[in-house]
A and B are shown apart, each in its own frame.
Chain A
Amino acid sequence: MPRELPPLSHLQFLALGVILSSDEPGRVIRDVVADYGVRRTGAAFYQLMARLERDGLIDGWYEPVVVGDQAVRERRYRITAAGSRAWRQTRSFYETVAAAAAQGRLSNA
């Protein structure tokens, strides 16, 4: 049976995973993704998030925060319904692949 490739890259999958249950600021998402060994410059990371936003997978907005005596803004993100769907599809793909691999069905031998 032909199977479809996942709609998300592993990096997008990771980023959406961070905000699956609650919205988070961009720098937190970037830190978590970095913990998985995917290091991106600030500009490259936010470019990735902007693409997810344009594809309707997440919503982004600026929220004021106070650090010390200064009021600044940070970019926060929440996952959309389409985003949740895409994440689940991707997870299901990886699970299928993992199961097939466990049964030796992905082997070339």
Chain B
Amino acid sequence: MPDPRLVRVLSALLPRRVVADAFEPAWEDLRIAYLIRRQRMTSPLGKAVLRPGYLSLIILLFLDCWRIAILVRQPHPAITEPKQTERVHMFLYLIRHAFRQLVREPAFTVAALLTLALGVGANAAVFAVVEAVLLRPLPYPSADDLVILNHRDKRTGITKEFIAIGDYVDLTTRQKTFESIGAWGRGQTSLVDRDDPYRVHLLGVGANTLDLLRMRPVLGRVINADDTRENAPPVMMLGYETWKKRYGGDPAILGRVIRLEQSERQVVGVASEGFTFPPNATTDIIIPFDLPTVAPAQRKSGWTFAIARLKPGRTLEDGATDLTMMSRQLEKEFPQQNLASEYFPLGLRTALAGNTKPALLLLFAAVGVVLLIACANVANLLLARSLGRRREMSVRLALGAGGGRLALQLLTESLVLALVAGTAGVLMAYWGSHALVALLPQSSDVPGLNDVRINGRVLVFALGIVVLTTIVFGLVAALTVRSERAVGVLNASRGSSMGARARRATSALVVAEVALAIVLLVGAGLILRSFAALLAVDPGFRTENVMTLSVQLPGNRYRERGAREGFYTQALAQIKATPGVQDVGMAAVTPLTGNNWTSPFERPEQPVPAGERPPEVGWQLASNGYFKALQIPLVTGRLFDDRDSPSSPMVVIVSEAIQRRFFPNESAVGKRVKIQGDQTAEIVGVVGNIRRAGLRDEPRADIYFPFERNKPGQTTLFVRTAANPEKALPAIKAAITRIEPNAFVSDEQTLAHVASESERVTQVVLWLLGVFAVTSLALAAIGIYGVMSYAVRQRTREIGTRIALGATRGNIVWLVLRQGVTIAAIGTVVGLATGLGTTRFLSSIMYGVKGTDPLTLGTAVVLLVITIMLACYVPARRAASVDPAKTLAEQ
């Protein structure tokens, strides 16, 4: 027997009277029928089908009961006024009446509900993501005062989110607008205090970092200035989760010494519950940075990320001015190292959200346009519907109902429509927002992206849209009633015709729809052209069939260079021997990940004049196999090889851009370049240019240092395979762990995926803007179809007369199309003017195409005109097939 709880739940959702009168006895009958059938049923298939069939019947019964609850026993609204005079009763009456009206006109209701629900749903979905990423407070007290310090090279415009250690020290002591500036950095290590090593994410902090984040420890103290000075005893803080999970929340953890890979540290505190920095990162342990208190002579001997908190009352602009002034001072004082260096602050949220922020705002604006078009369409539907109800309204007016009362009734109908659509829209938003999050790049830094939900704020937003749309429709309704009063039609027996005011309103709505649709079409077209341009970009290396993976060796066992040397020699040999592997190389920087690490470039025989700083070029640490795996062509000279050991003279490889810029009339190979202080290195090879930071990056000058000499404990492997590299991945990982079981392998991804991820935001914007544009085009087509169909109905007699007087079918079709073309032309002109004004909002996403791209604008117009012509053609054909004899006879 099906679960009676379902029936109880359904009963609770129905008016009590309907349950007693109809639902209960009818359900008992269904039960009896079910039991009798079950007794008779012998085939297993029949028995299997019986139960779902019974459940469907119960659901149908429930819906039927609602139909009865709405329709039955209500006085006819067109004639009878309600007896209840109390406002509440009046309100309930209006609501019931509105529901009944919607049920009675299913075609109108379904069309309006779907259009509105789509509009509200899409808007609420995008808003849910906007709310989580851009509006929800960051998890630090007064987070709006937190800024991230960034560096800009004024000569190249290249920005970096980390700053030189010498500049950090000076900025910290000289600044006036910040409460303090704190250093920070992230990394990974292992807790090796027990037999089971525990991989942890660490946050390194300066003296003030935790204070300015206002972190209050649940146990012990925070890391302070004493911990960050040179030769301070090594200490650490545990993250709350680590303390709970790894140490069972033991309060005696304070003072305990815990062994990490490369050091032993005493626990001095436990972070507050849920504390992480950045907000979406994992912070398992916090350790102090060892920072100098006086700027070192080599100002760029180290780098750090820096966060600052503005003093109360100070703004971001104050911070920017302060940093600009300090940057100029440092430029004057240290021209050799700081020329053209400029520091500027970015709000913490802006810095974390990166290019997701403009993309989200753009989508939010685009989806708002879709809502406007949807509203225009529903308003048109309402206008058309109001014609069908002219007689009802006239009768009610004649019977003494006031215009205000009728407007109230129409407003209530709009409200009910909008509320039902809003509820459906919120449900759609629930799915839509999760789909959108899945589409966006999964960067751990974008705050809130892992916690997108339909919360109170999103509901209030959806409610706001609903109220707004109600007001829009309410205005349409009020206009209609006013025109009814003016006409005073009880003589409207000759059918329904639209007044001049309503006709103008309808045409204006369709013009607006066309204009808005073309704005979205132009936007989507420009992004499509940008994406095509990005796909056509040659990054300078081959991304196909290359797997990248990050390898980190346990620090305690690989402190010595010899140990690392042994590991890499074995690993390279074993991976190379894996079936299907063609080349394997190593490098510090993965291309197309936004990395902007640079190094000064200076020829010893051409020193930069005093007071100037050598230009910066891209920095990379790469092995011989890196160039082969990525198929970066060798132009002249040689790649790194066994000759480039730590004991041999230092050598470097440069890109073609360096050859052209610094050695225009000679070969770079064999020349020397300054690398640090007075140390120089010989250029042994010139390789092709690559786009290092991203596909939008111009091919830049790069200098490559030999991995063969350095071999750090952490590196990225680049493995080229003959076929799908993902198939070789298990064998590659096995080869690594065979040599070192505790090696930490992460970030396994194909280079093609890295390239695709680098333009993920563009892809998402392209897809969604494309969907919005097609939706708006379809809505505009429906709108214009409705207007033209109505116009043809209105002009049937005129058309009949024209045909009788000798007009051809072609004349009649053109007569109708002309009206459509006029609307389309006005809409297109308005839309193009608006579209051209709005393309600048796309500038952060556009690539290789101008906002005035004639191909895009032309295609958008042609597409729109074709769509409108198609939408007009059906009513035009209908007009052409009017029988003149019949229409004249009716006349």
Contacts and interface: CB of A to CB of B under 8 A. Distances in A.
B29 A67 contact: no
B31 interface: yes
A42 B20 CA distance: 13
B38 interface: yes
Interface string A34-67: 0000000111111101100000000000100101
Contacts of A67: 32, 35-36, 39
Chain A residues touching B, range: 20 to 34
Contact of A26 (B29, B38, B65, B72): B29
Contacts of B36: 67-68
Interface stretch (A8-16, A70-78, A80-88, A91-99): A70-78
Contacts of A41: 26, 61, 64
B35 A46 contact: no
B25 interface: yes
Contact of A70 (B1, B20, B22, B24): B1
Given A43-B23, A46-B21, A72 B68 contact: no
B195 interface: no
Contacts of A49: 25
Contacts of A26: 25, 29
20 contacts: A26-B25, A42-B26, A43-B22, A43-B23, A43-B26, A44-B68, A46-B25, A46-B26, A47-B72, A68-B35, A68-B36, A68-B39, A72-B31, A72-B32, A72-B35, A73-B28, A74-B28, A75-B25, A75-B28, A75-B29
A72 B34 CA distance: 11
B37 to A, nearest CB: 10
B54 to A, nearest CB: 13
**Which of the four size classes fits the interface of chain B?**
20 to 34
Contacts of B25: 26, 42, 46, 49, 74-75
A42 B39 contact: no
B443 to A, nearest CB: 54
B21 A47 contact: yes
Interface string B34-49: 0110110000000000
B30 interface: yes
A46 B39 contact: no
Nearest to B73: A51
B22 A50 contact: yes
Most chain A CB inside 10 Å of its own CB: which residue of B28, B61, B67:
B28
A42 B21 contact: no
Contacts of A68: 35-36, 38-39
Interface of B: 1, 18, 20-26, 28-33, 35-36, 38-39, 61, 64-65, 67-68, 72
A65 B32 contact: yes
Nearest to B27: A42
Contact of B22 (A47, A62, A65): A47
A27 B64 contact: no
B68 A42 contact: no
A108 B32 CA distance: 51
A34 B68 CA distance: 19
Given A42-B30, A70-B1, A50 B39 contact: no
Nearest to B60: A41
Contact of A43 (B20, B35, B38, B61): B61
B29 to A, nearest CB: 5
Nearest to B31: A72
Nearest to A44: B68
Contacts of A72: 28, 31-32, 35
A47 B68 contact: yes
Given A42-B64, A72-B32, 4 more contacts: A27-B29, A43-B18, A49-B25, A75-B29
Contacts of A74: 25, 28-29, 32
Contacts of A46: 21-22, 25-26
A62 B27 CA distance: 13
B570 to A, nearest CB: 74
Contacts of B67: 43
Contact of A44 (B28, B31, B32, B64): B64
B65 A43 contact: yes
Given A68-B38, A70-B35, A44 B29 contact: no
